[in-house]
Amino acid sequence: MESKTKAVGFIMISSLSFAIMGALVKLSGDIPSIEKSFFRNVVSCIVAATLVIKHKGSLFGKRENQKYLLWRSILGTLGVIAYFYSIDHLVLSDSAMLNKLSPFFVTIFAVIFLKEKINFVQIIGLFAAFIGGLFIIKPSFNLSAMPSIIGLSSAAFAGGAYTLVRFLGNKEKYYTIVFYFSFVSILMMLPFMLMVFKPLSLKELIILLGAGVFASIGQFALTIAYRHAPASEISIFDYVNIIFSALIGNILFGEIPDYLSIIGYVLIIGSSITTFLYNQKRVRV
């Protein structure tokens, strides 16, 4: 119980850190999303490299895992860029909620690529989450829905990346995976970032570096949480991030989600809680 309490505490720290990261990304202003993503990953790369050196680990992992590490990095990079774009163009809590659909994409990809089994309750949960996503996106036949669709794609890319992380499992250390992802992301984004580069003021640079710091805190707090308790027992608490994002968005930007988005939140979080409780019951049985 003490270990699980620690895990929940770290999940809360992670959720708050990612909410602050999102607010800082939005607060940094009219800067290309790819440039924001670049600076976020520079900080993560430095932190991960420090941990690799401290633990005398491998920077780039084992040869047999290169294909999976590379694809995890490509999908993760696309996910971060899409998420940052949605943060800039949506209500903060909407972008966070769409990004939190990633566990449902993990389930889908795990069934397709890892051949994991899926039960009836999970299928119902996936359907409810999909409907909830539609309430947030509010599909239309014009470009106004594009930021929401890109926000949803961030969850799909993240889901693919997390599926590969699950596949890598104990094959690589977590700090090696984070460094590899951050390093490849920097290389991928650098030429595109230079094409659209906007000179930063000192304030903007500090804000973006701060976003990177909180992203790193969130990532490693999440990793520590999952070392203290199984993901099936604590992952539901990660949705506290939506509450933090909504509160911060309201305080800093005066944002209030509309009633359709709130219905979407209820459907997505409700389906997550139902699936979580069902899985807990199966474990006890």
Residue 145, Cβ density class (10 Å: 0-12 exposed, 13-18 middle, ≥19 buried): middle
Higher pLDDT, 119 or 130: 130
Confidence category of residue 231, pLDDT binned at 50, 70, 90: low
pTM: 0.86
Structure confidence by residue, pLDDT tens digits, 185-196: 999 999 999 999
Q: What are phi and psi of 254, to 5 degrees?
A: 65, 25
- Residue 141's pLDDT band (boundaries 50, 70, 90)? low
Q: How confident is the model at residue 13 (pLDDT cuts 50, 70, 90)?
A: very high
Distance between CA atoms of 209 and 21, rounded to whole angstroms?
A: 10
Q: What is the pLDDT of residues 177-187, one digit of tens each?
A: 889 999 999 99
- CA 73, CA 67: separation in Å to the nearest integer? 10
Mean of the pLDDT values across residues 115-132? 84
The rounded mean pLDDT for the chain is 87
Task: Indicate the domain borders of the chain.
Answer: 1-31+200-254
Read out DSSP for the chain? -HHHHHHHHHHHHHHHHHHHHHHHHHHT-S--HHHHHHHHHHHHHHHHHHHHHHTT--SS--GGGHHHHHHHHHHHHHHHHHHHHHHHHS-HHHHHHHHTTHHHHHHHHHHHHS-----HHHHHHHHHHHHHHHHHH---SSGGGHHHHHHHHHHHHHHHHHHHHHHHGGGS-HHHHHHHHHHHHHHHHHHHHHHS--PPPHHHHHHHHHHHHHHHHHHHHHHHHHHHS-HHHHGGGGGHHHHHHHHHHHHHH-----HHHHHHHHHHHHHHHHHHHHHHHHHH-
What are the tokens at 20? 């602050």
Range among 114-118, 259-263, 275-279 rated most confident: 259-263
